[in-house]
Amino acid sequence: MTKEIKIGGIKIGGGNLIRVQSMTNTDTKNIKSTVAQIKRLEKAGCEIIRISIPDKESAEAIKEIKKKINIPVVADIHFDHTLAILSIKNGADKIRINPGNIGSEEKVLEIIKEAKKAKIPVRIGVNAGSLKKDIKYNLQIKSNNETANKMVASLMEHLEFFEKNDFFDIVISLKSADVNETVEAYRLISKVRDYPLHLGITEAGTEKSGLIKSAVGLGILLYEGLGDTIRVSLSAAPEEEIFAAYRILDVAGRRKHGVEIISCPTCARTEIDVIKLAKKIEQKTKYIKIPLKIAIMGCVVNGPGEAKEADIGITGSKNFGVIFKNGKIIKKVPKNKVMKIFEKELENMIKENKR
């Protein structure tokens, strides 16, 4: 069980819901486009938004941005501690730094003091690719993975500095572009500290291969019970990160949210256009937040038998389409009408569930 931390109005850690984050990729200073992107992300289900603060104007923009959005803002700081301080003064709900690139302990201490005054947490984010060269910390427990050991040792140096200065309002991240390094690093830190863990695979890649890397890496950790907040990093529109994050949480058994589609891969037995229908249903139900299982099965080998757990489903047979609810057949309809009738049934079910 991790420690509970508050980010704006949202609690993470300590058994709270695992929260989904993303990051804007607009020019932060362009308040209009940044706010518009955050609004789209809120609609998709984003619960905490990180914004990079490369300069003074960006730090000052936080004030205006915060007025127009509904979720907490995390200021992402590199190199310059004065930007962290300015972000806090402009209302950032959390600061994310890698203390290793801030320049000196004195400068980190200035951030700590300001965060303490504002009562906001700091995420200490150590990345495999930007480790200090002279890590002195001696780990008591070690992993087989040398990079993971270095990441955790580096983090421990930072943690002890924060703790020595009486600051415990901390979230941790230990990201690498390598799944094994990431998994080993998070496993290791969870044995020695109880700060909430923000999970992510850094520079994971494109919409497709990045999705796979994040799903494997975060999936392993979440399935083990680790993780209090997650971000799926993708070189894609940030909305895609939100969809992926919820799917990963759902299939790893950590948070039910939205539609799970169960659909067969199709084969020579297939009697309805599963691929087209599944894609259409997925698109249509993308932003639904209630948990719902929808099955789309090509033939009688798979459906409804293999989809009896589904709330609603459709299966093809030689002469007609079959619609089923909770494992029971409710309708047999002509094949050319099956898609329309199924969509109508689904809409009704969603309406009922919303009530």
The yes or no reply on residue 59 touching its own copies (CB under 8 A) is no
Please select the residue that binds its own copies; options are 243, 322, 342, 346, rule is CB under 8 A.
Answer: 243
- Compose the 28-47 pattern: x for residues touching its own copies by CB under 8 A, - for all others: xx------------------
Q: Which is nearer to its own copies, 1 or 268 (CB)?
A: 268
**Spatial separation of the C-alpha atoms in residues 342 and 198, rounded to whole Å:** 40
CB closer to its own copies, 6 vs 131 = 131
* Buried-exposed string 87-112: b where 16+ CB fall within 10 A, e elsewhere: bbebbbbbbbbbbbebeeeebbbbbb
Indicate the SS3 state at residue 116: helix
Contact between 318 and its own copies per CB under 8 A: no
Tell me if 51 contacts its own copies by CB under 8 A.
yes
| Token pair recorded at residue 92 | 């950032």
Report d(CA 245, CA 249) in Å as an integer: 6
Q: How far is the CB of 58 from its own copies (least distance, A)?
A: 6
Dihedral of the CA atoms 260, 199, 219, 181 (nearest 10)? 160
Pick from 266, 262, 273: nearest CA to 312 = 262
User: Could you say which of 54, 113, 132, 161 contacts its own copies (CB under 8 A)?
Assistant: 54
Residue 6 vs 327, nearer CB to its own copies: 327
Q: How many residues bind its own copies (CB under 8 A)?
A: 81
DSSP letter string over 209-264? HHHHHHHHHHHHHHHTT--SEEE---BS-HHHHHHHHHHHHHHTTS---SEEEEE-
- If one asks whether residue 186 binds its own copies (CB under 8 A), the answer comes out as no
Shortest distance in whole angstroms from residue 327 CB to its own copies: 10
* Cβ closest to its own copies, residue 11 vs residue 236: 236
Task: Write the binding mask 258 to 297 for its own copies: x where contact by CB under 8 A, - elsewhere.
Answer: --xxxxxxxxxxx---xx--xx--x------------xxx
The distance of closest approach from Cβ of residue 201 to its own copies in the complex, given in angstroms and rounded to an integer, is 9
Task: Please tell me whether residue 90 binds its own copies under the rule CB under 8 A.
Answer: no
Q: Which of 42, 60, 203, 343 binds its own copies (CB under 8 A)?
A: 203
Interacting positions 207-226 with its own copies (CB under 8 A):
207-213, 215-217, 219-220, 223
Residues 99-128 that bind its own copies (CB under 8 A): 127-128
Token pair belonging to 9: 């109005």
Strands 10-12 and 5-7: antiparallel
**Partners of residue 152 on adjacent β-strands:** none
Which of 305, 334, 340, 344 is the binder for its own copies (CB under 8 A)? 305
Chain centroid, CA 326 distance in Å: 30
Give the tokens for residue 328: 């029971």
User: Binding of its own copies at residue 302 (CB under 8 A)?
Assistant: yes
Counting contacts by CB under 8 A, is residue 21 touching its own copies? no
Which is closer to its own copies, CB of 72 or CB of 210? 210
Nearer to its own copies, 5 or 261 (CB): 261
Contact (CB, 8 A) for 296 and 313? yes
Work out how close the CB of 196 gets to its own copies at its nearest, in angstroms, rounded to a whole number: 21
How far is it, in rounded angstroms, from Cα 332 to Cα 335?
A: 9
Residue written as token pair 């104007």: 57
Contact between 24 and its own copies per CB under 8 A: yes
